[in-house]
Structure 1
Amino acid sequence: MGIHKRDIMVDRVKAARDTQAAAQEQFKSALEQFDSVVKLKETDLKKAYNNLNREYEASEDIAEKVSSRIEKIEDVADALFNEWEEELALYKSRELRRSSKEQLTKTRQKYREMLRSMRKAEASMEPVLAIFRDNVLFLKHNLNAQAIGSLHGEFANLKGEIENLISKMNHAIESSNKFIAEIKS
């Protein structure tokens, strides 16, 4: 009560941006863990599997958190834009109504660009998680030196996917920061 939807949306965009930054760090950590597994000696396999599985589960959790944050942004944005649209009819001044409608259109456009960027970064998490999941399962069921040898090729794939993910998240974070700055002005 007493908090404007615009402020709530800004807070949610900030939370999503921060969660995406945390997701980047988590995926980097998972990649480092994966790299260390590829380089392990056979006696360390069980420990390596447990560490890698923990990283995978943490990556999965942060990916879900990113999705949840984006959904919360969409909820408040829908409410904000609907309220704004309804309030246009309350203006008596045509000039003020026109100006407010132009501002609404610009804000919606900026919001859609930011959301598209966030959704693109979100979508790039699933391929990374799928490769990660496959390799964790493979390692779980093949705790031997042969399994480690076969992971070298997958490491290159995973590294490329994570680099792509981080690039998309950086773009989404920049888009979020730009949107926050613009909506506050």
Structure 2
Amino acid sequence: MNIKKFKTMITLVSAAFLLTSGCTSVYYSAMEKFGKEKRHILVDNVEDVQKSQEKAQEEFKDALTRIKELYAFDGGDLETFYDKLKDSYDDCDSRAKQIEKRINDVEKVAFDLFKEWEIEITQINDVKLKNSSKRSLRDSKIKYQKLETIMNKSTKGMYPVLSKLKDYVLYLKHNLNAKAVGSLSGEIVSIEKDVAKLIKDMNISIKEAENFINNF
């Protein structure tokens, strides 16, 4: 690896650690050395949420597939089906936590960006330029608030599905038999609807993130 690139990577990783540690001012200063202003960081963080939601869609689909496989169970090694479902649940649960953290990062940077913007507007003496900057700030806040609302809505939609998946996993853990599988068969329609709605909401969030990235 090129030494310069390696040093850059180490610095960026260290900067990311500073953000998670609460040393935001040091983090922003470090990122500015690489030409990354708060606006750029915000867009990068939105992209991270977008990527995580795309992966979450596939993982929740996989979990639904595991449940359908259980529903179609007609003999064999039930523990293998259970292990697959548990793995799918664990993937979905980990992804949900990652998305929550990444949205928190977005909200933190957005707050700091808009606060800095408001302060710097007061330092502009030219009335025309000041008013123009105020309009830009207002428009940017509107775009961001729309995105934040949609992202949080889709995130909240993960938890009812996760709760049901956890119920299924724990129930099967304690009842690894065909009768237990039969007891879950009536749940397939309900969770299928929940997953479909979740994926739809995530699609809306992913598209809104793309719109924000392209126009912010």
**Aligning the two structures, in what range does the TM-score lie when normalised by the shorter sequence?**
over 0.9
SS state at 2:125 partner: coil
2:204 to 158, 171, 181: 171
Provide the C-alpha distance between the structure 2 equivalents of 1:119 and 1:4, rounded to a whole number of angstroms: 25
SS state at 2:168 partner: helix
1:47-67 alpha-carbon deviations (Å, 9 max, x no partner): 111111111011100011111
1:88 to 121, 124, 127: 121
Match of 1:126 in 2: 159
1:153 to partner: Cα distance: 1.3
1:42 to partner: Cα distance: 3.7
Letter in 2 for 1:66: I
Equivalent residue runs for 1:9-158 within 5 Å = 9-158=42-191
Letter in 2 for 1:117: I
Which blocks of at least 5 consecutive residues in structure 2 are unaligned?
1-29
TM-score between the two structures when normalised by the length of structure 2: 0.83
Superposed CA RMSD: 0.9
**Higher relative contact order at CA 8 Å, sep ≥6: structure 1 or structure 2?**
1
Match of 2:195 in 1: 162
TM-score between the two structures when normalised by the length of structure 1: 0.96
SS state at 1:43 partner: coil
Report if aligned partners of 1:24, 1:169 keep a CA contact under 8 Å in 2: yes
1:141 to partner: Cα distance: 1.0
SS state at 2:73 partner: coil
1:44 to partner: Cα distance: 1.7
Match of 2:4 in 1: none
1:33 to partner: Cα distance: 1.1
Q: How many residues in Structure 1 have an aligned counterpart in Structure 2?
A: 183
Aligned-pair identity in percent equals: 37
Letter in 2 for 1:32: T
SS state at 2:139 partner: helix
Letter in 1 for 2:127: R
